Amino acid sequence: YKSEYDVSNWEEIPVPSNWQMLGYEVPIYTNFKYPFKKSAPAVMKTPKKFWTTYLNRNPVGSYRRNFTIPENWRGRQIFLGFDGVNSAFYVWVNGELVGYAEDSRLPSECNITKYLRPGENILAVEVYRFSDGSYLEDQDFWRMSGIFREVKLISRDSVFVRDFYIKTELDKNYQDALLKIRLQIANYNPAPKFALAEITLLDDSGKRLIDKLNGKVEVPSQGESELILEQLVKNPKKWSAEEPNVYKMLLSLKDQAGKTLEVIPWNLGFRSVEIKNAQLLVNGKPIYIKGVNRHEIDPNLGQVVTLERMIQDIKIMKQNNINAVRTAHYPNVSKWYELCDLYGIYLWDEANIESHGYGTYIPQRISAWSDFKQAHIERVSRMIERDKNHPSVIIFSLGNEAGVGPNLASARKWAKTNYPELIIAYEGGFMYGGLHSDIFSSMYTRPHQLVPFYKLWGRGKPYILVEYAHAMGNSTGNFQEYWDIFESHPNLQGGFIWDWVDQAFRKKSEDGKEFWAYGGDYGDKPNDDNFCTNGLVLPDRTPHPGLKEVKKVYQNIKVEPIDLLNGKLSIKNKFFFSDLSFVQGYWELTEDGIVIKKGRLPQLFTPAQTSEELTIKELSLERIKSELKPKAEYHLKLWFSLAMDMPWAEKGHIIAFEQFRIPYPNPLPLMKREPEFWSYPEVKLNETDSAFIITGENFKVMIGKKSGAIESWEVNHRPLITSALVPNFWRAPTDNDRGNGMPKKLKVWKNAGENREVLKITATQEMPQVLRIQCLIKLSAGNSKLTNTYDIFGNGEILVRFDLKPDPDLPVIPRIGMQMSIPGEFDNVQWFGRGPEENYWDRKTGYPVGIYSMKVDELFFPYIEPQESGNRTETRWVSFTNDQGFGILVKAEERTHPRIGDYLLPKYKVIDEGLATIDFSAWHFKMEELEKNKHPYQIKRSEDITVNIDYKQMGVGGDDSWLAWPHKEYQLPSKNYYYYQFWLIPKLK
């Protein structure tokens, strides 16, 4: 730091940056384990030998740069500001110590005027990776360091506005507003000075709402004076996340002669936030928090966030109906708040306090240690002082997972003493009666627990989940269940999903393959593996498939059927402030997935929180009955898109949809008629010691006696399968599965299909055109029995029936289905079912039924750690073909089929006559590749395609990723009897 010290051989480094992202030591990911020896306040004690910090106990980054003050700054006050430095740092100017600071997520600023000299100056900064402040920054994120936010030089007159506070007090009708602005004006001059403050308020067209609201005050030498300006404003446009109306405030400060000293622009929003009747109200309305937790993370830059990345986040959130963000778990870059003001996002602004590694309960928690009291107060007070004027900030939080204690009580007391009108919350809002919080809050409370938990502990406060729906990997199941409960209880007002973005960095393997790196990939120890990847989007902001479910559940337009057969519907506007004039509605009617009618809904003006009825006359049974086809399936889909461009999306962007299956009556009576297979060519059976070989005019099928499986299937001497169609009861564990112990607890099912024993296999030919092979199979899972039946018809089609009687003493079954491989050229996939993104039993409301087409590779989603992926539910049929259209059609069959059940094979037992659907997935690799590899790039690609044809697999879950299982209604209990059937049909063109 000494001016004469030679740094000519030092390397250049960009600022802002995390030095770990530039190759200087490594980032460390832990959830809440301190990456150094825990011994507060010390960070230099000896950790375990294998820890990263054993050799590099507390790295220090030394920064130097020269700068020159502009000539026109002479005689002014010069301030040096650091927006974010991790974790602690000293600052020198021209060799003189200026100061020391902690709290890596808030600005530190000092007046350096007296340290400056004419010409070139030298700034030196010494940054410590760890400090006693690190004990309060134990969030679930990467442990990184450096000057990672902006560094600023600011020039101001010797008389300037040091601070201001805006209050917009709405009247009891939430119409007119009393605008109050409290100014703190500082004077660095040796003599008192008069100052004139003037406020101008402009709307977005430049029209003046307030013209020169002003006041004058004398400011003592080297002191401050307070000035309060007030004005009643008649019915200004209000700010909300739905309608983020802001006015441009110009705060001018002038001297006694009328010379302008400075002009401060600010985006002012008129809004009120309060709690009444145990509800959180914005502008008098009990809003819902449709939120996410968001860490500041960039896949290339670490914890440096650019303007472009912030705007990208906000736009994707708004496009997916997310209206709120918890700044987990620290104050964000200042620009973030300005963007949320402009785009419309509610913010739960959180102090940089988490001491999770020291425990959150008595007696070990740091929030009770007296020597950390002032640090708690300052981290809360400085956050409030910085962010108090942003209309987007509706709640201030004392921090996260720091237990309860007198330090947090003192921080809350400071907030309520200085700003009694603010809503103060805390993650532990349920603990010890919610002593520190105006809001009752909890995390990962399961849907069925919400109401009893609130009744027991709520104490007349609004209930908001600070974390829920843990979105780690293939997750976000049973999300709709949360909102069914929220919307049924007035005091339950939503929550923040954990979390927004996978915290992983772009990295290359030794052989040059790019992948997303998580804990341990840098050799960092200790680490918590991939527990940092809990996002709704990948690090580059590619959406996870589950984001579509969130968008659907969070949508603010609901359509309810009144009389579908006559096209009568109810449209409910779930917005709190906006009518529906900004959207345009459309509808379409499909027949077996094909659009047969479509139209545009009339312009809607439905006021907020009301409903209106409408009738689509084209859908009435009287009009359409002559066009109906026997046994066809009809769906009505409605969607609502932006009728104009918005800052966050273009005109035409869809914000909501609904889909209904219309129960049109079958237009023709079901009459028994001669089945078409009477005209099929004959089939012949050739039995060998090892197999039944069935041949027809242009096909051959071989079913192994030992395997009980279709081992080969050829049409026109071309193979349609490359490995046998075998029972499968396993799935590659998801992150949620790994967390709840599924691989161990359900391992009895892993090889149950592979280790099977054929107890009996028979061939029956009751007529020349069809032959049945039936296999009784004992699975290796206890006393579980499986009967597979194959009916091979003379046209080459095969009806596969699957009857499973599990051992009732065994645990639930991960998956019930069959698996085979098909030629790699059959990689054109088309299906009629839910899509286009992957969907699961407990995550399917956001994926409408339709006909979709993709390549096999596009079906798979590359979660950061490989796991079950690519499933599609409620599939009526799916085809796999080459570019010439040759391949296989798999078609779900009804639980009883007239052609066989009524005419030929009365042995079929009717179990369920519901809608015939299957689940399917397909990959260009074996399923075991998903289990044994840690990153997608390690998956060994197969030429052939693995195809799963399933009755179902259990849901993916999502309440949390460490204990919770899929809800019982989305499990496959072993006490049940399972049965499904499907057709394998050759596609010749």
pLDDT single digits (tens) 608-662: 999 999 999 999 999 999 999 988 999 999 999 999 999 999 999 999 999 999 9
Provide the token pair at 391. 């209309």
Rounded Cα distance, 366 and 407, in Å: 8
Residues known to be catalytic: 401, 467
Residue 641 C-beta-side C-alpha neighbours within 13 Å: 11
Whole-structure pTM value:
0.95
For residue 666, the model assigns a pLDDT of: 78
For residue 905, the model assigns a pLDDT of: 38
Q: Which CATH class is domain 19-155?
A: mainly beta
Rounded Cα distance, 254 and 258, in Å: 5
For residue 299, the model assigns a pLDDT of: 98
Indicate the CATH number for domain 159-273. Answer: 2.60.40.10
Rounded Cα distance, 352 and 36, in Å: 19
Rounded Cα distance, 87 and 85, in Å: 6
- Region of 607 please: left (phi>0), alpha (psi -120 to 50) or beta: beta
Asked whether the domain spanning 555-662 has the same topology as the one spanning 287-501+536-551, the reply is no
- 3-state SS assignment for residue 264: strand
For residue 747, the model assigns a pLDDT of: 98
Topology of the domain comprising 555-662: Immunoglobulin-like (2.60.40)
Instruction: Return the H-helix or E-strand segment holding 124.
Output: strand 120-128
For residue 162, the model assigns a pLDDT of: 98
Q: Which CATH class is domain 676-987?
A: mainly beta
Spans in the chain with pLDDT lower than 50: 670-673, 897-913
As beta bridge partners, residue 726 has: 819
- Nearest in space to 745 (alpha carbons), one of 813, 817, 805: 813
Domain boundaries, the chain: 19-155, 159-273, 287-501+536-551, 555-662, 676-987
Find out whether 905 and 958 touch, Cβ atoms under 8 Å: no
Phi then psi for residue 743, to 5 deg, are -55, -35
For residue 900, the model assigns a pLDDT of: 41
Find out whether 170 and 268 touch, Cβ atoms under 8 Å: no
For residue 894, the model assigns a pLDDT of: 84
For residue 896, the model assigns a pLDDT of: 57
Phi then psi for residue 554, to 5 deg, are -80, -5
Was domain 287-501+536-551 assigned CATH 3.20.20.80? yes
For residue 402, the model assigns a pLDDT of: 94
In eight-state DSSP terms, residue 150 is -
- Nearest in space to 631 (alpha carbons), one of 672, 668, 588, 676: 668
Strands 289-293 and 492-497, bridge-based pairing:
parallel
For residue 648, the model assigns a pLDDT of: 98
Phi then psi for residue 752, to 5 deg, are -65, -35
Provide the token pair at 165. 């506070």
Burial class (CB in 10 A: 0-12, 13-18, 19+), 895: middle
User: What single string gives the DSSP state of each residue in 943-966?
Assistant: SSEEEEEEEEE-----S-SSSPPP
Rounded Cα distance, 854 and 650, in Å: 26
Burial 418-448 (b: 16+ CB within 10 A, else e): ebeebbbbbbbbbbeebebbbbbbbbbbbbe
As beta bridge partners, residue 128 has: 60, 88
